[in-house]
A and B are shown apart, each in its own frame.
Chain A
Amino acid sequence: EAQVTQNPRYLITVTGKKLTVTCSQNMNHEYMSWYRQDPGLGLRQIYYSMNVEVTDKGDVPEGYKVSRKEKRNFPLILESPSPNQTSLYFCASSLAGGNQPQHFGDGTRLSIL
């Protein structure tokens, strides 16, 4: 089954404690992205990757890092989380090209205390 898998689905942690949210896709997609979803603000892109070792900032990259060492994986790293990063996070993947639909994971709800 074609899917994007995120882990963990839920996490409560404290300010400053490094965390990683993993994302893996099994569709051999070139493009991968991370979005955060906040009430009243919709979904905003954090980082994206167009292929292995090719990553770049989206609209709200501050406080986040990513890596793309393998085509299927695109982890999101919060090195020193802060309460304003409490949000619902989605990983997405797609084939190259703006007319390609994106496939989303089921989301990770992060609470930073």
Chain B
Amino acid sequence: AQSVAQPEDQVKVAEGNPLTVKCTYSVSGNPYLFWYVQYPNRGLQFLLKYITGDNLVKGSYGFEAEFNKSQTSFHLKKPSALVSDSALYFCAVPDMKAAGNKLTFGGGTRVLVKP
């Protein structure tokens, strides 16, 4: 079965510093990978996805993610974090063998950006 793991429950950074949220995956074949963000009292919002091609994927709100096949990782990055980036971040992989477009999510990483 495919899965994603987010090894850090929480990440704290100072505003203006680089932000990295880690994700590793276990998928047979070529993976599709997603990042979503959840702000308080809101649903998940799509940030970016990796399908194939360039290993550096650019997304919304200045975020990007680096796909690394040898390390089976898909880390989310932002060069200069903002206080407004404080939220819960989820890495996810679709189950391509199942119907219904099911996403399997990592456990989430809470990001706290301090002023």
A interface residue numbers (CB < 8 A to B): 4, 31, 33, 40, 42-43, 45, 48-50, 56, 58-59, 90, 92, 94, 96-107
Contact = CB atoms under 8 A, between A and B. Distances in A.
B51 interface: yes
Contacts of B70: none
Contact of A31 (B44, B101, B108): B101
A50 B100 contact: yes
Contacts of A107: 41-43
A105 to B, nearest CB: 5
A101 B90 contact: no
Interface string B22-34: 0000000000101
Q: Please indicate which of the listed interface residues B46, B95, B102, B107 has the most CB atoms of chain A within 10 Å of its own CB.
A: B102
A50 B44 contact: no
Interface residues of B, number: 24
A53 B61 CA distance: 37
Contacts of B51: 99
A43 B105 contact: yes
B100 A99 contact: no
Nearest to A94: B101
Those 5 A-B pairs whose CB atoms lie nearest each other, nearest first: A48-B100, A104-B43, A98-B94, A101-B46, A104-B44
Given A43-B90, A45-B103, A102-B101, 20 more contacts: A4-B43, A31-B101, A33-B101, A33-B102, A40-B107, A42-B90, A45-B100, A48-B101, A48-B102, A49-B100, A50-B100, A50-B101, A59-B102, A90-B44, A94-B101, A97-B101, A100-B101, A101-B46, A102-B103, A104-B43
Contacts of B96: 98
